[in-house]
């Protein structure tokens, strides 16, 4: 699906909200983070929206491109007649990536979102870099419960389930928290057919055989008080995926992303930024994300025996050791680099990093502020030269 099928809808949630058409369906997507950063796709649970990941998106978007679609029949996404299937919902999620021009992404999912993530990893393993599976399972029986729930909702509406569902989503001590009340609002506003169709997808799903063949890095998270997909489910899931790690979230029920956001965010960030033994490989990946494939390809093609060791050194040291560190987000590192290159008068590198700003999330207004700072602390001539180079570079980028 071409990117032209995405249209910006500023009235929804600012400049980062999109409606993407995939599989004949209009899907609402929220996007945050530097455009050139590694993409992270986050899939929400039954009866919620992308907001179930708000706390994690805020943390991850400092260093990653975070993409949060709303499942068909949920949030502002189009409602389709059920029943749905997990494979169909996985195709929707893969379609969102295609519509955004993203070849592969790290994928996280909570509850049914985790089942969808497993199905994506099985159907298109080359498009899933890693998995983060939160309070989910390979199957959530008995199927009859889900079918009865779908029938009840179609007859009496979602509100009839609200009290029982909320009791499983959060612990009793969190029930009156404003974040818990917001979860209830999301549930009550879920379209009947969206909820029922997704419930039927859970009823029909048993991913045991497919998940056993998953081989990408996987993190499994579970709240220690989750009654819907309890610890044994998480242990079975982690045991089915070679090399998967399991982390238990203390004080969390079925939706710990909301109730224990700091624990979940820390676990996910640690998983996504775990040290890479090969600093050169890690450096090349970040260098390509920041500077762009075309530049890195040209630079690599120009390497000779004279500078081969030097190029390897700066790739390991600058890009593999420093730019990969989680302590500063990529946008901040970009602005710092621009300030240093401007102050030191390294104009060739400065122009390179002006161009890289389109991949790091540093805005032109922020760069203008940085160059004002350069003029004060490094001298007006340095600031003046940097402003001139910025104007020239941005003009070339806009042509």
Given this model, what pLDDT does residue 276 score?
Answer: 59
291-306 CB burial, b ≥16 within 10 A, e <16? bbeeebeeeeeeeeee
- Which residues have C-beta within 8 Å of that of residue 60, sequence separation ≥ 6? 33, 40, 66, 265, 268, 269, 272
Second-level CATH architecture of 279-398: Up-down Bundle (1.20)
Average pLDDT of adjacent 10-residue blocks, the chain of 399 residues: 37 66 96 90 98 97 94 97 97 97 96 98 94 98 97 97 97 97 98 98 97 93 97 96 95 98 96 78 88 87 87 91 87 95 96 93 95 96 96 94
Per DSSP, the three-state class of 269 is: helix
Q: Where are the domains of the chain?
A: 3-272, 279-398
Given this model, what pLDDT does residue 111 score?
Answer: 98
| Burial tier of 136 (Cβ tally within 10 Å: 0-12, 13-18, 19+) | buried
Q: What are phi and psi of 31, to 5 degrees?
A: -130, 130
Bridge partners of residue 133, in order along the sequence? 109, 220
- C-alpha dihedral, 290 to 91 to 235 to 227, nearest 10°: 110
Second-level CATH architecture of 3-272: 3-Layer(aba) Sandwich (3.40)
Q: How far apart are CA 156 and CA 69, in angstroms?
A: 27
Q: How far apart are CA 288 and CA 291, in angstroms?
A: 5
Whole-angstrom CA distances from 395 to 168, 183, 290, 351, 390 are 55, 46, 20, 12, 8
Given this model, what pLDDT does residue 303 score?
Answer: 87
Q: How far apart are CA 41 and CA 27, in angstroms?
A: 14
- Which residues have C-beta within 8 Å of that of residue 347, sequence separation ≥ 6? 341, 385, 389
The DSSP-derived string for 344-399 is HT-HHHHHHHHHHHHHH---HHHHHHHHHHHHHHH-HHHHHHHHHHHHHHHHHHH-
Whole-angstrom CA distances from 280 to 144, 277, 319, 362 are 53, 9, 8, 25
Cα 328 off chain centre by: 18
Given this model, what pLDDT does residue 300 score?
Answer: 86
Q: How far apart are CA 317 and CA 310, in angstroms?
A: 10
Contact 127, 148 (CB under 8 A): no
- C-alpha dihedral, 186 to 189 to 194 to 197, nearest 10°: 80
CA angle 42, 127, 130 (to 5 degrees): 55
Contact 196, 82 (CB under 8 A): yes
Q: How far apart are CA 277 and CA 110, in angstroms?
A: 30
323-343 CB burial, b ≥16 within 10 A, e <16? bbeeeebbbbbbbebbbebbb
Residue ranges of the alpha helices (H) in the chain?
10-13, 54-60, 86-99, 112-123, 143-156, 162-169, 178-188, 192-204, 208-211, 231-240, 256-259, 261-272, 279-291, 293-301, 308-314, 330-344, 347-360, 364-378, 380-398
Q: How far apart are CA 248 and CA 260, in angstroms?
A: 11
Given this model, what pLDDT does residue 59 score?
Answer: 95
Given this model, what pLDDT does residue 277 score?
Answer: 61
Given this model, what pLDDT does residue 1 score?
Answer: 32
Given this model, what pLDDT does residue 274 score?
Answer: 77
Given this model, what pLDDT does residue 3 score?
Answer: 36
Among 20, 62, 19, 63, residue whose Cα is nearest residue 38: 63
Asked if the domains at 3-272 and 279-398 fall in one CATH topology, the answer is no
């Amino acid at each position: 699906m071409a990117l032209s099928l995405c249209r910006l809808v500023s009235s929804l949630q600012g400049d980062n909200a999109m409606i993407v058409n995939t599989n004949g369906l209009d899907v609402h997507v929220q996007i945050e983070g530097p455009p050139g950063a590694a993409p992270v796709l986050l899939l929400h649970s039954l009866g919620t929206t992308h907001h179930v990941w708000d706390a994690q998106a805020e943390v991850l978007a400092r260093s990653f491109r975070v993409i949060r679609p709303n499942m068909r029949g949920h949030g502002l996404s189009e409602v389709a007649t059920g029943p749905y299937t997990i494979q169909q919902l996985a195709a929707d999620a893969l379609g969102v990536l295609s519509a955004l021009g993203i070849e592969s992404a790290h994928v996280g999912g909570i509850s049914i979102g985790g089942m969808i993530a497993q199905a994506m990893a099985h159907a298109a393993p080359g498009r899933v870099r890693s998995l983060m599976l939160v309070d989910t399972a390979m199957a959530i029986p008995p199927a009859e419960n889900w079918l009865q729930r779908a029938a009840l909702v179609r007859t009496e509406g979602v509100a009839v389930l609200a009290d029982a569902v909320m009791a499983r989503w959060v612990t009793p001590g969190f029930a009156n928290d404003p974040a818990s009340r917001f979860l209830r609002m999301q549930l009550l506003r879920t379209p009947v057919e969206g909820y029922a169709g997704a419930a039927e997808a859970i009823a029909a799903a048993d991913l045991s055989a497919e998940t056993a063949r998953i081989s990408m890095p996987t993190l499994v998270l579970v709240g220690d008080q989750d009654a819907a997909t309890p610890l044994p489910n998480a242990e079975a899931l982690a045991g089915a995926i070679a090399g998967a790690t399991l982390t238990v979230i203390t004080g969390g029920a079925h939706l710990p992303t909301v109730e224990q956001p700091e624990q979940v965010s820390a676990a996910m960030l640690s998983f996504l930024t775990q040290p890479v033994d090969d600093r050169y490989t890690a450096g090349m990946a970040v260098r390509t994300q920041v500077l762009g494939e075309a530049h890195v390809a040209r630079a690599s093609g120009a390497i000779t025996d004279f500078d081969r060791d030097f190029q390897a050194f700066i790739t390991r040291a600058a890009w593999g050791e420093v730019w990969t560190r989680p302590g500063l987000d990529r946008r901040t590192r970009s602005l710092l680099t621009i300030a240093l290159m401007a102050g030191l008068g390294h104009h060739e590198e400065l122009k390179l990093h002006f161009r890289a700003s389109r991949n790091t999330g540093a805005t032109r207004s922020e760069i203008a502020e940085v160059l004002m700072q350069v003029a004060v602390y490094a001298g007006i001539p340095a600031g003046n030269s940097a402003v001139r180079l910025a104007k020239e570079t941005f003009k070339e980028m806009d042509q």
